[in-house]
Chains A and B, each alone.
Chain A
């Protein structure tokens, strides 16, 4: 485990007396002794993970199946609650933040399966996270159209999700994850269902946006090429970070 070196690179643990993440630091996400167990403790998915993930970094999370990668991603994205430990987001303990606000404003998710709504158009799917955002409809449309253009789907915007290819759906899912302009993008095997060419396109898209916007990009992957392209690789084994390096 190499947690301390990562923290050192970020200028120390960034903690305070209360164990906070240190507001104003470049750290976007920091976890402290994060654990997660299921079935009354019979299954230990995470066994105390402490890492700091700064803004602008592209982090690949790798490891064998069942090593806790996806669980880690779910916990830092507030999709699930930890059994123990803490997660700090921009210096705030996320246990004290409304999960829906974190998901809406701070985090964009891309999953292995696109989960687009099949009978909505790509344009409508990309607009879904903006429902109830208070933005005017014209603005929502413009924003979604610009993103679809950005991911190379400008001419497919009016096509229903069930009428386009798998690669196009996943690119639309990337656009949907970015519609709220989140500072953090979490992707769980985003190319897992795609052929290598389409997978490379989707990865290229994620990394371009990451560079342009300076987002923290965390990608859970089995793909060594993605790991090779990342700034940093967290290698998980048995619910722990076994290796943390570039």
Chain B
């Protein structure tokens, strides 16, 4: 009977389902994208940037951090530290394609970790050499042996020769390219400074203890575990808050959709509900019937919304191809989305259900 009640006004039920589906799709898509960004950055941190990140304290974004190169040598002296690499990251736009450019000293092991797909690595004196990630090579249509001007279209820029192509397996890295640290510093007009330092700890050392030791020695710097870095990342925090705020708004709109549909449905069926009460239905049974209708709308809307959300993430990832976004969705997120959807359905149908169950049979039967 519950299903039949919903199919009586198919179009209205469809729009109620659609409202929930859009709300849940927004939740799934935005949270997935926020998680995708986090996972990618996490991935970069773990693969490229060692165990511990050292940066300038309290910079609004990581890119504005500046650390003196002399610190790199001092960090190496601390007990438990195996390797330290100072590096820079800058973002340039080549014909509409955004390309992050990493500057590393070529002799540092981090540069050597990148798997080579073609050509060779940057020589220790290769100040006019560049290695491209496979995605960047494809996006910029460049290959080994070709030249590229950085910054692009800037007559005062530096012409670099593509000497190699790397394939790290991480899209976030592979859309970028690698320069000699000196060249990157010249481009950034910050000689003698790096953006951050990546610290590797010696095998078997407790990373947390090393962080504490470093922090004691360099109180002016911000020293965090690479795996925690993303959670301290203001941009990410903002992104996550934005994702949840928009999701919450979308979800509330979905709940209002259910509320409106169920209120209309109850108003329209006032006589019928009066008759059910006259036939001996308990008020609790009437309440359950309306709630069940809301529940079905929310479950169907929730499942459709999850599918729609996954589709949206894929579309966004394809649309913004140069962005390193892959949806970070999993069964847990789907479970949370479905639970949220069911919660919305129950919340949206509660008021109409209470209203229906409190009808006076006589009044309801008289209703025109």
**Residues of chain A having any CB pair with chain B under 8 Å:** 74, 77, 79-80, 100-101, 103-105, 109, 111, 113, 115, 117-120, 124, 128-129, 131-132, 176, 180
Top 9 A-B residue pairs of the complex, sorted by shortest distance between their CB atoms: A104-B280, A103-B280, A115-B275, A129-B279, A80-B362, A79-B361, A100-B282, A79-B362, A119-B8
**Other-chain residue from A104, A111, A129, A131 in contact with B1 (beta carbon distance below 8 A):** A131
- From B8, B276, B279, B282, residue with most partner A Cβ within 10 Å: B279
Report chain A residues within 8 Å CB of B280.
100-101, 103-105, 129, 180
User: What separation, in Å, do the CA atoms of A24 and B144 have in the docked complex?
Assistant: 106
> Given A103-B279, A104-B280, A128-B1, are A80 and B360 neighbors across the interface (CB < 8 Å)?
yes
Given known pairs A80-B360, A80-B362, the reply for A119 and B4 (CB within 8 Å) is yes
Q: Are A100 and B281 in contact (CB under 8 A)?
A: yes
CB distance from B128 to the nearest CB of A (A): 78
Cβ-defined contact, A120 with B1, below 8 A: yes
Contact of A120 among B4, B271, B281, B362 (CB under 8 A): B4
Closest to A112 in B: B365
Q: Report the minimum CB–CB distance from B266 to chain A (whole Å).
A: 14
Cα-based distance from A118 to B272 in the complex (angstroms): 10
**Residue from A109, A113, A131, A176 in contact with B281 in the complex, judged by beta carbons closer than 8 Å:** A131
What's the count of A-B pairs with C-beta under 8 Å? Answer: 58
Chain B contact residues, CB within 8 Å of chain A: 1, 4, 7-8, 271-272, 274-283, 285, 360-362, 365
Chain B interface, >50% SS class:
helix
A-chain residues with CB within 8 Å of residue B7 when the two chains form the complex: 119
Can you identify 19 A-B contacts, CB atoms within 8 angstroms?
Answer: A100-B281, A100-B282, A103-B280, A105-B280, A109-B278, A111-B275, A111-B278, A115-B271, A117-B1, A117-B4, A118-B8, A119-B4, A119-B8, A124-B4, A129-B281, A131-B285, A132-B282, A176-B279, A180-B280
Contact of B285 among A117, A120, A132 (CB under 8 A): A132
Nearest residue (CB) in A for B275 is A115
Q: Which residues of A contact B278 (CB under 8 A)?
A: 77, 79, 103, 109, 111
Query: Of all chain B residues, which has the CB nearest A80?
Result: B362
Given contacts A80-B362, A119-B8, 5 further A-B contacts (CB under 8 A): A100-B280, A103-B277, A113-B271, A117-B272, A129-B281
**A64 to B122, alpha carbons, bound, how many Å?**
106
Residues of chain B lying within 8 A (CB to CB) of residue A128:
1, 276, 279
Closest to B363 in A: A80
Across the interface, name the chain B residue whose C-beta is closest to A160.
B4
Closest-by-CB residue of A relative to B269 is: A117
Nearest-CB residue, chain B, relative to A173: B275
Task: Tell me the bound Cα distance from A79 to B360 in angstroms.
Answer: 8
Q: What are the residues of chain B within 8 A of A100 when measuring CB–CB?
A: 277, 280-283
Residues of A contacting B285 with CB < 8 Å?
131-132
Whole-angstrom distance between the Cβ of A117 and the nearest chain B Cβ: 6
B293 to chain A, nearest CB (A): 13
Instruction: Identify the interface centre among B275, B278, B280, B281: most chain A CB within 10 Å of its CB.
Output: B280
CB-based contact B365/A111 at 8 Å:
yes
Once A117-B272, A129-B280 are accepted as A-B contacts, the answer to whether A124 and B362 lie under 8 Å apart by CB is no
Chain A: minimal CB distance from B30 (Å): 38
Collect the chain A residues with CB atoms within 8 Å of residue B271's CB.
Answer: 113, 115
Bound-state CA distance A103–B285 (Å) is 14
Most A Cβ at <10 Å: residue of B4, B271, B277 = B4
Contacts of B283 in A (CB 8 A): 100
* A115 cross-chain contacts in B, Cβ below 8 A: 271-272, 274-275, 365
* Residue of A77, A80, A100 contacting most chain B CB atoms (<10 Å): A100
Instruction: Name the distance in Å between A217's Cβ and chain B's nearest Cβ.
Output: 17
Bound-state CA distance A96–B8 (Å) is 38
* Interchain CA distance A180-B279 in the complex, whole Å: 9
Taking the closest CB of chain A, its distance from the CB of B224, in whole angstroms, is: 60
Q: How far is the CA of A77 from the CA of B103 in the complex (A)?
A: 87
> What B residues does A79 contact at CB under 8 A?
278, 361-362, 365
Contact residues in A for B362 (Cβ distance below 8 Å): 74, 79-80
Contacting residues, chain A, for B282 (C-beta < 8 A): 100, 132
Residues in B with CB closer than 8 Å to A109 are 278-279
Complex alpha-carbon distance, A204 and B24, angstroms: 57
Compute how far the CA of A217 lies from the CA of B156 in the bound complex, rounded to whole angstroms.
104
Residues of chain B with a CB closer than 8 A to A113's CB: 271
Residues on A with C-beta less than 8 A from B281 are 100, 129, 131-132
In the bound assembly, the distance between CA atoms of A100 and B4 in angstroms comes to: 24
Closest CB in chain B relative to A226 CB, distance in Å? 21
B contact residues around A80 at 8 Å (CB): 360-362
What is the minimal beta-carbon distance from A197 to any residue of chain B, in angstroms? Answer: 26
A174 CA to B86 CA, complexed, in Å: 88
Residue of B nearest to A182 (CB): B280
